[in-house]
Amino acid sequence: MTLSATPLAAKPVSMPVEWLTAPAPVPYADALAAMDARAGSIADNTAPECVWLLEHPPLYTAGTSADETELLTPARFPVFRAGRGGRYTYHGPGQRVAYAMLDLTARGRDVRAYVAALEDWLIATLARLGVGGERSREGVGIFVGGAKIASIGVRVRRWVTLHGVSLNVAPDLEHFSGIVPCGLYETPITSLAALGAETDMARVDAALRASFAEIFVGRLR
């Protein structure tokens, strides 16, 4: 699998971000390989920045800070070492994953500002869907009424970002019980479906795209 793009002789800072949407769940190893290849092309100035919207089959991923004791049922789903920051998380059908491959050289080389922008992106997206999301002192991610609805995991290589965000639209929330999500022992997990909010993925994607323009255009430039 490749995230193909028209080759560029040079990539201007103002080059529009390319948006791609996978029509079916993407195996995790395939997604990592495609994301790595596209990020390399961005770093080489041969492809534009990219946001890739997709879902995965049910699986758990372990970030660089993952604690093995937080993987409660190791045989339940495949487990992948993700290379991103953070601990264990779940991906599966009904969860919108947005992998953002952005050039931080053109956006200020400030990783903390980038993570804050990802949080703002999720909050703005939820607001468009009629849900009030907020940050929490418990950790990175977005919460609604004390329950976590969205996660963030980032890796940066050659100042190009990899991985991104995941938003619980209508996943099977029981699947999260096989891990301690993000190391948060006492924090419940919620979704747009559990909140009675919008669950049409096309409308969620439209909200993500509109909010991305609101947060990132003219910011981190």
Rounded Cα gap, residues 7 and 48, in angstroms: 9
Residue 50 a catalytic site member: no
Amino acid at 221: R
Q: Edge-to-edge, what's the strand order for the sheet holding 95-101?
A: 18-21, 50-54, 95-101, 160-168, 147-157, 139-144, 134-136
Rounded Cα gap, residues 141 and 122, in angstroms: 9
Q: Which of 180, 182, 204, 207 is catalytic?
A: 182
Query: C-alpha 152: how far from its chain's center?
Result: 6
Rounded Cα gap, residues 23 and 93, in angstroms: 12
Q: Which residues have a catalytic role annotated?
A: 182
